[in-house]
Structure 1
Amino acid sequence: MRSALCIYDLDQQAAEVLFATDAHIEAPNWHPDGYLIVNSAGRLYRVDMARPELTPIDTGFAQACNNDHGVSPDGQTLAISDRSRTDGSCIYTLPVSGGTPSRVTQQLPSYWHGWSPDGQRLAYVGRRDGPFALFTCQLDGTDETCLTDGFDHVDGPDYTPDGQWIWFNAERDGAVDLWRIRPDGTDLQQMTADSHVNWFPHPCPKGAHVLYLAYPQGTDGHPANRDVALCLMPADGGQTRQLLQICGGQGSINVPCWAPDGRRFAFMRFC
């Protein structure tokens, strides 16, 4: 099965393949300098837009990275989730050009998903003494704060560009919907209530839309290689627009993938 790294243009309402490979690659981020970062087989790679190919990023001892990684708002730091030295996924930060990772989370497992717009806090999911929940912490791992309870599973938190909300997907009573909550844990709001299994919401950098992945009704978890839809909804909720159907799911848009201009985003499809 081939991996295709694609770019969707909202103005053109079309997607094009930037790079295709027989290697299994997942979870593109869009760096402010105009290149992409992807995961493959526990390693991270840079993909330049002008000459797309997989260029390894030096992550030091972290050789078992999962696909939960992303770039700080200033473009200088990379957050990764890795289990090379721990029994479960642990969050680290390192220079975006590569280097030695610095440990952030002491409690495991922890899976990174978002930076606050001011670059001072991280949003992630973790399991402590119950199901996976939404947490935030300072960059040094202090002040770990749980924002959610009462869900069977939480995943995919991502901040809005004004820092006023954290969007996430969560399962309750068998339904997986999109939700948002204030960074202080107040004002929880349900944003979808349809028959689809909705995952990985990503607010647009310009604040107008939220991109997300919709599985068919009855899907368990977020499996790979399924017929899924990439959808767009207004930032304050409302009518959803389906952009396209792809073979994907796990690895397609697990992490923030918007271009800084808010008119394009990167995603993976598999065929």
Structure 2
Amino acid sequence: MRRITRDHPDRPYKHYLHGVSSDGSTLAVIVGSVPTSTSSPAEWRTDVALVSVLDGATTFVTSDEHADDGAEFSFDDEWLWFTTERFTSAPGHAQLARVRPDGRDLARVVDSDTVDWFPHPSPDGAALVYLAYSAGTLGHPENRDVALRILRLDDGDPDPSSARDLLRLFGGQGTLNVAGWAPDSRRFACVDYPLA
């Protein structure tokens, strides 16, 4: 075992792994900038970054005040899909986005009233599954009524009008945080929290 991520001399960071490129050379991570002891907790920032498996070099794809989370590569490594709060002024109203690995073409995927988290494209590039919380939810808490939603991808491009509930369940944090598609794109794994 060896460490991949590097220390940053200016400020401590936390790294949250969410995706791996198809050739295994690059990690899609969320880099959380930890507030210094003299800064306020509001200075906590999360950005999408790429980390080289070879040497740990970190390239920020986003670097701003908007909260980002859950970055994952598309099947062809042409896009990074992620959750962000950049498209609305409502606190915590996370929405789905995608961006090129070099930071170009940042776009909202679907405009919804729900708080949407953790987009996972299928290996064949035909569908995107994600977790939807009710409006007003802050973060991605556990023990909530949530929906797994799916939308069609046409040649890798999202069709927002096709978004629909696939399954309603009791879950939240941990239900769909990381990719769980089967290699044939016919099934995916998720976690619900059955009540005793």
**Coarse TM-score class (shorter-chain normalised):** 0.7 to 0.9
Tell me the residue number matched to 1:114: 19
Separation in structure 2 between the aligned mates of residue 260 and residue 162 of structure 1, nearest angstrom? 14
Displacement after TM superposition at 1:141 (Å):
4.3
SS in 2 for 1:114: strand
Displacement after TM superposition at 1:152 (Å):
2.6
Q: List structure 1 runs of 4+ shifted beyond 3 angstroms.
A: none
2:175 partner letter:
S
Displacement after TM superposition at 1:241 (Å):
1.5
Separation in structure 2 between the aligned mates of residue 186 and residue 257 of structure 1, nearest angstrom? 27
Which structure dedicates a bigger proportion of its chain to strand?
A: 1
2:150 partner letter:
L
Residues 229-256 of structure 1: CA distance to partner in whole angstroms, max 9, x if unpaired? 0000122222201101000110011001
TM-score by length of 2: 0.83
Q: 1:151 to 1:233 in 2, by over 3 A?
A: farther
Tell me the residue number matched to 1:127: 32
Displacement after TM superposition at 1:194 (Å):
1.1
Please say if residues 6 and 57 of structure 2, whose CA atoms lie closer than 8 Å, have aligned partners that are also in contact: no
Displacement after TM superposition at 1:171 (Å):
1.1
2:179 partner letter:
P
Aligned: 1:249 with 2:154: no
TM-score by length of 1: 0.61
SS in 2 for 1:113: strand
Please say if residues 99 and 107 of structure 2, whose CA atoms lie closer than 8 Å, have aligned partners that are also in contact: yes
Separation in structure 2 between the aligned mates of residue 149 and residue 119 of structure 1, nearest angstrom? 24
**Structure 2: unaligned runs, 5 residues or longer:** 8-12, 35-43
Separation in structure 2 between the aligned mates of residue 214 and residue 182 of structure 1, nearest angstrom? 24
Displacement after TM superposition at 1:184 (Å):
1.1
Aligned: 1:258 with 2:181: yes
Tell me the residue number matched to 2:141: 223
Please say if residues 47 and 64 of structure 2, whose CA atoms lie closer than 8 Å, have aligned partners that are also in contact: no
**Structure 1: unaligned runs, 5 residues or longer:** 1-100
1:268 partner letter:
V
2:180 partner letter:
C
Q: Which has the higher contact order (CA 8 A, sep 6+)?
A: 1
Task: Identify which of 100, 113, 123 aligns with 1:182.
Answer: 100
Separation in structure 1 between the aligned mates of residue 152 and residue 57 of structure 2, nearest angstrom? 32
Tell me the residue number matched to 1:208: 126
Separation in structure 1 between the aligned mates of residue 55 and residue 116 of structure 2, nearest angstrom? 29
Please say if residues 151 and 170 of structure 1, whose CA atoms lie closer than 8 Å, have aligned partners that are also in contact: no
Aligned: 1:163 with 2:77: yes
Task: Identify which of 84, 102, 110 aligns with 2:2.
Answer: 102
Out of 137-146 and 182-191, give the one that drifted further.
Answer: 137-146
